[in-house]
């Protein structure tokens, strides 16, 4: 709900169910931010605003008519350079006369409903009655530039989004050097800023700092939203925890270079800005031309990090992800990459798919290596024609065989990239981003196609159209495997070279949108060497993203946990893979690999053809179990119960009748025998059957301790020990009680006592390093 408080200087109140955002027009024309937090009643904005009656020290008075007001010490909705506010600006231009000073003041406002589509970028979407829209028009007193500030209020999800449009209504061309999407000023310091950093195979590692002074910048120049610094950030007030306390979450619907800065001013005010990274950015606007900044997303919760995450999970599900797959259960897939890498042919793929089918898997995905001369990662990107030596019956022949087995067929592509060793490059060397005549720095032996050039976008779109319609393709993994270097588009003139990253991203979105609309039934999965482009821009087109090339269950704990702060778990895909794990060489139990992957969208990526019978049986049981709880796992509410040596996660179906919990112990700690599983999100009044599934321990888990009970001496790893391991199976502990929801959430379930050397029976919870358990909670 948006309310305008009329007056000579109006104020605007944006209410969601539990939050309020408030600002007013100052008598000097700037927009003064007053409040963003828990929902409040606002009778008068002026009575709530900060009171400034004495000018501070050596700061700048904005105007001689109001010597007590300096823009440096006022919370603002936007700010430029040169009029006294020396904090992070919202907008930066270089005018025709070389000036960088702007002086934007309020001109008009309009309140409507509905969410119009942006012209050049993806954005959130909603039915008209789901979102209210406020547009404030600001005009620059010096040159006449116009800035439209758009606010969209998603009442139900407690989310407000913002976007900005700059229109050059001056009489001269202008160079736009920065246009932020969001700016929120708080009249306080000491926020804990949390951001998510990493690299290949270690995405989304949460880092916290307390910002008492100075500036903290979370940004990337990788060319993409990147695994180095995800655009999602949080700001928490002192004392905020997972379950209580005040917390803000911010994100950006954008996949290119982004920028999020928190700055504490000498007046102890914290400014947050976010938008396109101004580094190496300049956009030339002729008279009458305009520029759209990406849409920014923000939420507030007084219910801790969990409350903030729940808001964003609902928002991303309801207003970012779209298309037929949004609410459709995702199939359990089997991907060929870690089973075969580039060494694929029809026979191997069909054999692997048959094993997958036997285990209950539903979709077979042929990964890299199927096209052109693609025998390794040095060649053929750009040549999207099937390699008939590997697939003599073409894509259709293979797809038909997979379909005949009873599985859907999916394919891998990397349509934004080109190898120099490709027919495409030989025909169009000027289609890659590279500085003509200069050495080029490559990544994974490949270059980035010049998507600033519409002809390149159209050609690659057509190539993909041909591939996607050449067979019965149900799924596409859209990969992208290098970061940017040598920022240069041969298509653009010299003076537009600082537009390259943004123009590329707009071209890429155009291609994604075209193909998504033409092939609505295809399930698209975004991928960028794992999570190198995990952002809300991509999620506007693809309903799921491969979270990391790291499929090690233990590495995945912090990776998936990191994503869960800002993204719902049904956009994060996760696979069970072989051991030792290909990324870490770590051995983890097969059960743990499943238990962790099941909290994302589950898939398998290992050579089932080489696996032992008992492993295949275990996998078949996992797939069956997952399908039984799939609706809950993929569309339920996700909770982080515990992080650290012991991780506990839980997901609860929307109707609260089904819930699944996981407890994983990374390292055995001696004599730490008691673990409590304290649930969240259940119905207090309902009785739940809390149980775990029966399982057996391998005798060898106990090593030579077997001699404490064996009537004859058993030599460890000797013949007798090996035979016993085959024949004797020891019952593991199980849980099986019925408890009210409020008790499960209040007391928690005290799990069976843990093993501590001096005693064992089937009531003792034996968990070696990296062991885990699933707990089921079903309403009676
Ligand atoms: C990187 C991806 O993240 C992997 O899963 C795989 O698809 C390879 N690319 C293929 O080249």
Residue 144 in tokens: 């006449």
At residue 302, the pLDDT reads: 98
Please tell me the distance between residue 313's alpha carbon and the centre of ligand 1 in angstroms.
Answer: 27
For the entire predicted model, the pTM comes to: 0.98
Q: Are strands 601-605 and 333-335 parallel, antiparallel or unpaired?
A: parallel
Cβ atoms of 630 and 623 within 8 Å: the answer is: no
d(CA 565, CA 319): 17
d(CA 563, CA 288): 41
Backbone φ, ψ for residue 178 (5° rounding):
-160, 135
Ligand 1 atom at minimum distance from 412 CA:
7
Q: Which of 163, 83, 73 is nearest to 115 (CA)?
A: 163
d(CA 461, CA 567): 29
DSSP H helical ranges for 519-552? 536-539
Q: Which of 660, 614, 658, 600 is nearest to 332 (CA)?
A: 600
Please name the residue whose Cα sits nearest to atom 1 of ligand 1. 529
Report which DSSP code applies to 708. G
Ligand 1 atom at minimum distance from 549 CA:
3
Backbone φ, ψ for residue 347 (5° rounding):
-60, -50
Query: What is the share, in percent, of the chain residues with pLDDT greater than 90?
Result: 96
**Residue to substitute in 415, 446, 479, 575 for testing ligand 1 pocket (most ligand atoms within 8 angstroms of CB):** 479
At residue 55, the pLDDT reads: 73
Is any ligand 1 atom within 6 A of the Cβ of residue 368?
Answer: yes
The SS3 of residue 10 is coil
d(CA 285, CA 496): 10
The tens digit of pLDDT for each residue in 137-167 reads: 999 999 999 999 999 999 999 999 999 999 9
Task: Show Cβ contacts of residue 552 under 8 Å, excluding neighbours closer than 6 positions.
Answer: 577, 581, 583, 584, 586, 588
Please name the residue whose Cα sits nearest to atom 9 of ligand 1. 529
Q: Is the predicted pLDDT of residue 758 greater than 90, yes or no?
A: no
d(CA 480, CA 255): 12
Exposure pattern of 713-732 as b/e (b: 16+ CB <10 Å)?
ebeeeeeebeebeeeeebeb
Ligand 1 atom at minimum distance from 546 CA:
3
Please name the residue whose Cα sits nearest to atom 11 of ligand 1. 368
**Residue to substitute in 344, 368, 477, 478 for testing ligand 1 pocket (most ligand atoms within 8 angstroms of CB):** 368
Cis peptide before 580 (omega within 30 of 0): yes
Is any ligand 1 atom within 6 A of the Cβ of residue 203?
Answer: no
Ligand 1 atom at minimum distance from 341 CA:
10
At residue 38, the pLDDT reads: 98
Q: Is the predicted pLDDT of residue 661 greater than 90, yes or no?
A: yes
Q: Is the predicted pLDDT of residue 41 greater than 80, yes or no?
A: yes
Residue 479 known to be catalytic: yes
d(CA 317, CA 304): 20
Instruction: Say which residue the tokens 């105007």 belong to.
Output: 63
At residue 301, the pLDDT reads: 98
**Residue to substitute in 481, 534, 547, 606 for testing ligand 1 pocket (most ligand atoms within 8 angstroms of CB):** 481
d(CA 695, CA 498): 60
Is any ligand 1 atom within 6 A of the Cβ of residue 412?
Answer: yes
Task: Show Cβ contacts of residue 401 under 8 Å, excluding neighbours closer than 6 positions.
Answer: 346, 350, 353, 393
Banded pLDDT at 56 (limits 50, 70, 90): confident
Q: Which residues pair with 153 in a beta bridge?
A: 132, 160
Instruction: Say which residue the tokens 């293979």 belong to.
Output: 398
**Residue to substitute in 202, 224, 337 for testing ligand 1 pocket (most ligand atoms within 8 angstroms of CB):** 337
Residue 549 known to be catalytic: yes
Is any ligand 1 atom within 6 A of the Cβ of residue 549?
Answer: yes
Cβ atoms of 148 and 164 within 8 Å: the answer is: yes
Banded pLDDT at 170 (limits 50, 70, 90): very high
Please name the residue whose Cα sits nearest to atom 3 of ligand 1. 529
Please tell me the distance between residue 528's alpha carbon and the centre of ligand 1 in angstroms.
Answer: 8
The SS3 of residue 509 is helix
Please name the residue whose Cα sits nearest to atom 2 of ligand 1. 529
Query: What is the share, in percent, of the chain residues with pLDDT greater than 70?
Result: 100
């Amino acid at each position: 709900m948006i309310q305008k408080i009329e007056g000579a200087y109006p104020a605007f109140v944006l209410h969601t169910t539990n939050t309020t955002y408030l600002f007013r027009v100052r008598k000097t024309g700037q927009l003064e931010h007053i409040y963003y937090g828990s929902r409040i009643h606002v009778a008068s904005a002026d009575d709530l605003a900060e009171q400034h009656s004495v000018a501070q020290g050596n700061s700048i008075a904005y105007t001689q008519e109001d010597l007590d007001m300096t823009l440096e010490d006022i919370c603002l909705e936007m700010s430029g350079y040169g009029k006294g506010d020396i904090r992070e600006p919202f907008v930066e231009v270089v005018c025709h006369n070389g000036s960088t000073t702007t002086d934007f003041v309020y001109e008009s406002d309009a309140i409507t409903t509905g969410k119009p589509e942006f012209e050049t970028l993806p954005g959130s979407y909603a039915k008209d009655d789901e979102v209210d829209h406020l547009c404030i028009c600001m005009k620059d007193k010096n040159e006449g530039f116009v800035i439209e500030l758009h606010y969209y209020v998603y009442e139900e999800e407690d989310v407000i989004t913002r976007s900005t449009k700059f229109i050059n209504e001056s009489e001269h061309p202008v160079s736009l050097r920065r246009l932020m999407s969001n700016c929120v000023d708080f009249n306080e310091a000491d926020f804990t800023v949390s951001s998510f950093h990493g690299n290949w195979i270690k995405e989304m590692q949460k880092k916290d700092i307390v910002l008492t002074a100075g500036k903290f910048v979370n940004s990337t120049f990788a060319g993409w939203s990147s695994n180095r610094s995800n655009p999602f950030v949080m700001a928490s007030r002192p004392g905020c925890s997972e379950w209580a306390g005040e917390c803000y979450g911010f994100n950006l619907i954008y996949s290119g270079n982004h920028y999020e800065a928190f700055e504490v001013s000498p007046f102890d005010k914290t400014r947050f800005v976010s938008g396109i990274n101004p580094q190496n950015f300049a956009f030339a606007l002729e008279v009458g031309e305009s520029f759209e900044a990406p849409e920014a997303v923000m939420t507030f919760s007084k219910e801790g990090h969990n409350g903030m995450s729940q808001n964003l999970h609902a928002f991303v599900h309801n207003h970012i992800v779209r298309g037929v797959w949004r609410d459709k259960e995702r199939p359990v897939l089997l991907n060929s990459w870690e089973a075969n890498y580039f060494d694929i042919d029809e026979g191997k793929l069909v054999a692997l798919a048959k094993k997958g089918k036997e285990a209950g898997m539903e979709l077979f995905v042929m990964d890299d290596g199927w096209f052109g001369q693609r025998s390794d990662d040095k060649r053929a990107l750009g040549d999207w024609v099937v390699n008939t030596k590997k697939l003599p019956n073409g894509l259709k022949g293979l797809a038909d065989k997979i379909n005949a087995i009873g599985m859907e067929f999916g394919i891998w592509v990397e349509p934004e990239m080109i190898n120099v060793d490709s027919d495409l490059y030989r025909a169009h060397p000027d289609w890659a981003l590279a500085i003509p005549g200069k050495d080029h720095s490559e990544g994974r032996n490949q270059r980035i196609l010049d998507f600033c050039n519409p002809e390149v976008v159209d050609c690659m779109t057509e190539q993909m159209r041909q591939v996607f319609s050449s067979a019965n393709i149900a799924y596409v993994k859209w990969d992208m495997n290098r970061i940017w270097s040598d920022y240069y588009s041969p298509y653009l003139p010299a003076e537009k070279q600082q537009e390259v990253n943004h123009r590329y991203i707009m071209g890429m979105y155009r291609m994604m949108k075209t193909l998504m609309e033409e092939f609505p039934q295809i399930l698209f999965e975004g991928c960028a060497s794992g999570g190198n482009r995990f952002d809300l821009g991509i999620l506007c087109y693809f309903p799921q993203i491969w979270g990391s090339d790291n499929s090690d269950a233990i590495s995945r704990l912090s990776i998936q946990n990191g994503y869960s702060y800002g993204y719902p778990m049904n956009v994060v895909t996760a696979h069970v893979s072989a051991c030792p794990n290909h990324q870490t060489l770590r051995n983890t139990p097969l059960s743990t690999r499943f238990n962790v992957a099941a909290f994302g969208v589950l898939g398998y990526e290992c050579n089932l053809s080489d696996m032992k019978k008992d492993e295949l049986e275990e996998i078949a049981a996992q797939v069956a179990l997952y399908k039984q709880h799939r609706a809950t796992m993929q569309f339920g509410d996700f909770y982080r119960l515990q992080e650290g040596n012991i991780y506990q996660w839980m997901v609860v179906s929307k109707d609260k009748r089904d819930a699944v919990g996981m407890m994983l112990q990374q390292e055995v700690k001696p004599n730490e025998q008691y673990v409590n599983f304290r649930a969240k999100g259940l119905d207090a009044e309902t009785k739940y059957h809390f149980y775990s599934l029966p399982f057996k321990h391998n005798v060898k888990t106990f090593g030579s301790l077997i001699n404490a009970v064996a009537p004859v001496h058993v030599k460890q790893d000797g013949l007798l020990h090996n035979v016993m391991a085959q024949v004797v199976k020891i019952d593991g502990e199980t849980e099986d009680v019925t408890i009210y929801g409020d008790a499960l959430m209040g007391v928690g379930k005290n799990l069976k006592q843990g093993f501590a050397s001096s005693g064992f029976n089937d009531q003792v919870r034996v968990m070696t390093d990296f062991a885990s358990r699933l707990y089921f909670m079903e309403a009676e």
